Structure 1
Amino acid sequence: MITRKRSVLIAVVTATALLLTGCAGGGNAATSDDVAASGPVSGGTLRVLEVVQPTGFDPVQVFSSTSMPITYTALYGQFVIANEETGDYDCGLCESFMTSDGGATWDVVTREGMTFTDGTPFDAAALKYNWDRMKDPALGSASAGVASQIESIEVVDARTAKLHMVVPTPGLLGLMPIYSLQWIASPTALEQGQEAFNKNPIGAGPFVFESWTQGGTLKLTRNDDYFGDPAYVDAIEVQGVPDNTQRLNGLISGQADIALNSDPSTFVEAEAAGYPNEIDIFNGGIGFMFNTKKAPFDDVRARQAVAYALDLEQLSNAVNRGNGSVPKTLFTKESPFYEDIPLQTFDQEKAQELFDELAAEGKPVEFSYTVFPGTGPATFDALQAQLKQYDNVTVTADQRDSSEQGVVTTTGDYNLASSSLAFVDPASRLWGALHGDANRTNYSGIDDAELNDALDAALATTDPDEQKAQYKIVQDRLAEIVPYVLFQEYLNGATVTDKVHGVEMYGYTQPAAAGIWLEQ
C-alpha cells in the first residue's frame, strides 16, 4: 500500500478564475509538516536523482513538465503555479495571465524590470520568441500541439503579449504547467544555436548553470539576483537515472538526498526501507489511449470491446509488480466532482460479442500497441496475454525509441498508446484533452457533441452544482465512448532522506527547486 502523504483536493473552478494575478516568490515557504523546530535554513548542496537523463536544456527538448522538474524549475522558475488551496493558478514569472473573451485571446503581462541571467529582458518579445519556437516542426517539440493552439502572438507593449488562439481555448491556463511552454529561456542565448545553448543554458530561475557532463552530473548554483525570494540551498547536483530501482538504491546508499519517482512499486519499497515519500495522486490516471481517428478504433465498438476485454487489476499488477492501484472513477473521492461512475467494466462475454460482430462485418480488431522503453514491454506482454483469450482480435508491438515519446501521439502516428488523462484542474485539462475543438491537444481525436457541450458548460458556469452536473455528463460519456482505458493512478512524487524539507508535491512542475532546504 502507498501511504498518501498528500491527496489531491480539487477546489471548484469558476469562470472568474480565468483571471490570474501574480504572487511573489513562487512558493518558497515550507509547510508545517516540513519545518524543523528551527525553521527553514539556507546552505548546503542538494543531491537529486531525476527520472530522465537530459540530452540538453532547450525547453523544446523537454518531454513533459514532470520528467525533470527540479532541473527546470531551478533554471527557469515557474511561469504558472497550481494553487492547492484554491484549485486555481498563480503567476510565478508573469504578473497576470487572463482572458476576457472565453479564451479566444489571452493577455499575458510580464513582471516589470525582470531579466534573464544574461541581462536579456524577460518581456513580451521573449514570450513570443519562446512560444513561436515550440510550434516549429523542425524542432520536434512534444509541446508543439498545445503551442499550435496559439495562432499568433501580438506584442502589445514591452510587457504585454496577446495570444490569438486558433479556436477559443478557455482551458489554456491550466495547460501551461503540463507542457514546456512553462519554461522560458533567454532568446539571446537560444539564438546561439541549440548546441551552444545546451553548454550554457540561460533562464530567469532561482539557480544558474555551472557545469554538465553528458551522461553525468548537472551542477547548478543559487541565483542571488532572482526576482523573488532566493532559494535556500547553495547548489544542486542532478543526475538522471531512468531505472527506478537504481534511483532508490542511490538514495539508500547515501548518494542522493532526494529521488523523484512515479512508480508505485518503488514508493512501496522506499516506505518499507524507512524513507518518507511525498506523493501527489492526481484525478484520472494513466492507461491506454485509443486513436479514434484511425481504424480499428474509429469504430466505438472496437474501443468498447477492448475495454470490456481487459481485467485491469490483473494488468496493473503485472505492470506494477502487484503495487498498482486502478482508478475506478475519473475523479477521486476527495473531489467535489466525484461520481460513482465506473470508467470501465470487465465483461468477457460482451467483449467477445463485439469482437465477433465487427469480424462479421469484415472488420476484425487488428491493431498495434506503441512500445517505449521502461514499462512498455511489460504492458504489451500483459495486454497481449489477456487479448489472446478472445477470437477476432490481434495486437502487435510497435517498438519505438524513447526519443519519439510524446511526438508519436501528438502526430497521431499510433493505434493504441500509453498516455495519461491525469489532471489537477478539470476545467483546463479535460477540455484540452477531450474537446473536439482542442484538436492539437486532443491526442485521441475524440469528438463527441454531448461531451463537448458538457465541457463547454462546465467552463461557462460559476454555479458549483451546475459544474458538478456537467462533469457528471462528462463521466457518463467517457464510460460510453471510451477514448481512454485507465489502469494506473497517476503519481507524482519524491522519496527523501530525513534531512530534506520543503518538498511540495501538488500538480505539475513539482517539486520546485527554490522551496527545498536541508538541515545543516
Structure 2
Amino acid sequence: MKRKILATVLVLAVSASMLLSGCGGKGTNTADASKAKTLVFAQGADPRGLDPAFVDDGESAKVIVNVYDGLLKYKKDSTELEPGLATEWTISPDGKEYTFKLRQGVKFHDGTDFNAEAVKFSIERQLPPKRTDDMPYASFTYGPVDKVVVVDTYTVKILLKEAYTPFLSNLAMALAAPIVSPAAVQKYGDKFIENPVGTGPFKFVKWDKGQSIQLERNDDYWGEKAKVGKLIFQFTKENSVRATQLITGAVDIIDGVDSNNVAEIEKAGAVMAEDEGMNINYMAFNTSRAPFNDAKLREAISHAINREELVKFLYQGYAKVANSYMPSFIPGYNDKVTPYEYNPEKAKAMLKELGKENLEINMIVYSNPRPYNPAGQKLAESIQGYLLKVGIKSKINVYTWTEYKKKTQQGEGDILFYGWTGDNGDPDNFLSLLDSNEIASSLNVAKFKNAEVDKLLKAARGTPNGAERDKMYQDIQTIATKEAPWLPISNAKSMAAYSKKVTGFKYHPTGVIFFNGVDKQ
C-alpha cells in the first residue's frame, strides 16, 4: 500500500513539475529554444576582412552588418534613413555641421561603453594623417570631414570642409561607417580585421579561413534581438555544390545562385528569392597604360562584344543588359546613352586603322560568383571568344576573390572584370568609381582620369538633390560612355535560395542581409 501511495505521489510531483515548466517557465523555454537554433548561410568566398575600414567587398559586408552598427541605418526595404546608434541629428544651414545625439546604455561586445569618443575614434582613424590607401571606402565616405568634436558623452559634432549631399546616406553604409570598439582596435592592432568587436545583434566567435565564420547572438542588443542563437557563414566556392548543400539540408540559405541550378532548387522544395538588384556588372580597361590608354582602341573592343547575346546566354533571364554606369532607377540615370553597338566588322576596321589587328592582351577575372555576376569566370571566357573573332588573342588569369583584389591594386591585367552593388542609393556611390581620386583606393579599377568628370563629381556632391544635381551625373555618363573606360554589361537580380524552414529572409537593396530578422523553424 505504501509503495502505491509513494508511486502516486511521485507521479503527481512529476506532473506538477511539468505543468509548472509549461506555465511559469514558458518565456525561459522559448528563449532557450531560440538560443539553440543555428542558421547556416553559404556564400562563395571568405570575406576580405571584418574591419569595416579596410574592406570593400560584399562577402565582408554581409558579416559586418550583423556584428556592427552605424550612427544611422537604412529601413528594411529601402535606403531611406532611420536612427541607429544616433537617435537624432541636426544639420547647420550651410550644410557643414552635423550634430548627433547618441543612444545611451549601449555596450560593445567586449563590455566597453559606446559613446561620443568611440564615434570620434572610428571616424578619425580613417582621416589624414591616419588614413592609408588600404582603406578603400574612407576617402569618399569621410573625404569632406574636417574634424570630429565630442560635445559631451552622448553628443558628437562632425564638421565638414564643404557641403556634401551624400554624407548622411554614407553614414548608414555597411563599410567605413560602422562604429568599432576603440579598446578592441587597440588590443588587437592589425589583427582586429580578424577579431571584430561592434555593438551589433551578433558577436564574433571564430573564423576558420576557407571554411566558415561563426557568430553568436548578442543577448544585450539594444535593437531587435536575433531569433537564432548561432549564425554560421559557410564558404563554398562552387555554385552547384552550394545548391546541393541546400537541397540536402546541409545549409539553410545560399546566395550567388547560378541560373542553371534554379529548376533543381525549386524542384527540391526550396524557395527562390529574387529582387531587383542595385548593381552593375562591367568589363574594365586598364586605362593607365598601353594599349588601353587609347580611347579609340577601347571603342573598337567594345564594338566586338555582343552584350545582348552574352547576357541572355550567361544569365538566362536573371539579369538585364546595362546601358549606363548605374541602374536605371537611381536618380540621375541618363537614358540617352548606350555603349558602342555590337559591330564586329567595324571593330576589325578600327583595329586595322589603329595598327592593332594582331593585338595580344591579358585578362584577369575572379573564380567565385559575385552578386552582379553569378557566372564568375565564364564571363571572361565568353569575352575571350568574341575578341578572337576579330583577331585579338587573349590570356585569362583566374584568381580567388581575395587574390583578385590584390592583383587589381597592383595593376595587373589589360582587361579586368568587376562590378558594384550600391551602398546607399545615391548616384555618387556609383559614379565615384570614375573619380581619379579613387585610383589609389582601388575603387577606380580602370584607373580612369578625366578632369571634367572629376570637376562634375565635386560640384554634384555639394549640390542639393534635384534636377540640377541629376544633370551633372547625366553629363558624367555622357562623357564616360564616349571615353569607354568600362563596357557596361548587366544589372543582375539579387538571387538567393533558402529552406522552407527559414522565415524572414530578405536581401536589402544594398545587397546585404540583416540576419537578426531571420528565423528557422
Q: Which has the higher contact order (CA 8 A, sep 6+)?
A: 1
Instruction: Pick one of 251, 254, 262 that aligns with 2:249.
Output: 254
Taking the aligned partners of 2:309 and 2:364, their CA distance within structure 1 comes to 20
Pick closer, same or farther for the CA change 1:141–1:373 going to 2, 3 Å.
Answer: farther
**Contact 2:457–2:473 (CA under 8 A) maintained in structure 1:** yes
Taking the aligned partners of 1:457 and 1:287, their CA distance within structure 2 comes to 26
Give the structure with higher Rg (CA).
Answer: 2
Q: Matched residue of 1:116: which SS?
A: coil
Deviations 1:139-194 (A, max 9, x none): 945546646836764344344253656x8754455455666314433221222225
Taking the aligned partners of 2:331 and 2:49, their CA distance within structure 1 comes to 41
Pick closer, same or farther for the CA change 1:131–1:366 going to 2, 3 Å.
Answer: farther
Taking the aligned partners of 1:199 and 1:352, their CA distance within structure 2 comes to 50
Q: Is 1:222 aligned to 2:221, yes or no?
A: no
Q: Is 1:395 aligned to 2:389, yes or no?
A: no
Taking the aligned partners of 1:80 and 1:398, their CA distance within structure 2 comes to 40
Percentage of identical aligned residues: 24
Instruction: Pick one of 277, 282, 287 that aligns with 1:287.
Output: 282
Q: Is 1:416 aligned to 2:449, yes or no?
A: no
Offset, 1:351: 1.9
Taking the aligned partners of 1:111 and 1:485, their CA distance within structure 2 comes to 45
Alignment map for 1:26-425 (pairs within 5 Å):
44-54=37-47, 57-59=50-52, 62-64=55-57, 66-77=58-69, 80-83=72-75, 87-95=79-87, 110-131=102-123, 133=125, 140-143=134-137, 146=140, 149=143, 153-157=147-151, 158=153, 159-160=155-156, 162=158, 170-175=165-170, 180-193=175-188, 197=192, 201-261=196-256, 263-267=258-262, 269-271=264-266, 273-283=268-278, 285-316=280-311, 319-320=314-315, 325-329=320-324, 339=335, 341-359=337-355, 367-374=361-368, 377-391=377-391, 393-400=392-399, 402-410=401-409, 412-423=411-422, 425=425
Q: Matched residue of 2:496: which SS?
A: strand
**Contact 1:95–1:110 (CA under 8 A) maintained in structure 2:** yes
Taking the aligned partners of 1:432 and 1:90, their CA distance within structure 2 comes to 24
Q: Could you say which residue in structure 2 is the equivalent of 1:479?
A: 481
Offset, 1:68: 4.5
**Contact 2:278–2:510 (CA under 8 A) maintained in structure 1:** no
Taking the aligned partners of 2:284 and 2:267, their CA distance within structure 1 comes to 33
Taking the aligned partners of 2:132 and 2:477, their CA distance within structure 1 comes to 38
Given residue 93 of structure 1, which amino acid in structure 2 is its aligned partner? L
Q: Could you say which residue in structure 2 is the equivalent of 1:518?
A: 520
In the comparison of the two structures, how many residue pairs are matched? 474
Structure 1: 5+ residue stretches without partners:
1-40
Q: Could you say which residue in structure 1 is the equivalent of 2:505?
A: 503
Taking the aligned partners of 2:65 and 2:505, their CA distance within structure 1 comes to 13
Q: Could you say which residue in structure 2 is the equivalent of 1:428?
A: 428
Taking the aligned partners of 1:123 and 1:275, their CA distance within structure 2 comes to 44
Pick closer, same or farther for the CA change 1:411–1:91 going to 2, 3 Å.
Answer: farther
Offset, 1:241: 1.9
**Contact 1:49–1:240 (CA under 8 A) maintained in structure 2:** yes
Taking the aligned partners of 1:194 and 1:81, their CA distance within structure 2 comes to 27
Q: Matched residue of 2:378: which SS?
A: helix
Pick closer, same or farther for the CA change 1:86–1:280 going to 2, 3 Å.
Answer: closer
Pick closer, same or farther for the CA change 1:168–1:409 going to 2, 3 Å.
Answer: farther
Given residue 81 of structure 1, which amino acid in structure 2 is its aligned partner? K
Q: Matched residue of 1:307: which SS?
A: helix
Taking the aligned partners of 1:57 and 1:97, their CA distance within structure 2 comes to 28
Deviations 1:288-340 (A, max 9, x none): 12233333222221221111111123444565588654324556565675625
Taking the aligned partners of 1:343 and 1:213, their CA distance within structure 2 comes to 43
Taking the aligned partners of 1:425 and 1:364, their CA distance within structure 2 comes to 42
Q: Matched residue of 2:249: which SS?
A: coil
Taking the aligned partners of 1:196 and 1:299, their CA distance within structure 2 comes to 42
Taking the aligned partners of 1:414 and 1:137, their CA distance within structure 2 comes to 27
Deviations 1:346-383 (A, max 9, x none): 122332233223228xx986543223323554333222
**Contact 2:66–2:515 (CA under 8 A) maintained in structure 1:** yes
Pick closer, same or farther for the CA change 1:98–1:504 going to 2, 3 Å.
Answer: farther
TM-score by length of 1: 0.75
Pick closer, same or farther for the CA change 1:101–1:253 going to 2, 3 Å.
Answer: farther
Taking the aligned partners of 2:263 and 2:126, their CA distance within structure 1 comes to 37
Given residue 368 of structure 1, which amino acid in structure 2 is its aligned partner? N
CA RMSD of aligned residues (A): 4.0
Taking the aligned partners of 1:456 and 1:54, their CA distance within structure 2 comes to 31
Deviations 1:249-286 (A, max 9, x none): 11111122222226444456534544322233334511
Offset, 1:230: 1.8
Given residue 248 of structure 1, which amino acid in structure 2 is its aligned partner? A
Taking the aligned partners of 1:429 and 1:55, their CA distance within structure 2 comes to 21
**Contact 2:141–2:170 (CA under 8 A) maintained in structure 1:** no
Offset, 1:512: 0.4
Taking the aligned partners of 1:405 and 1:147, their CA distance within structure 2 comes to 24
Given residue 416 of structure 1, which amino acid in structure 2 is its aligned partner? I
Q: Matched residue of 2:117: which SS?
A: helix
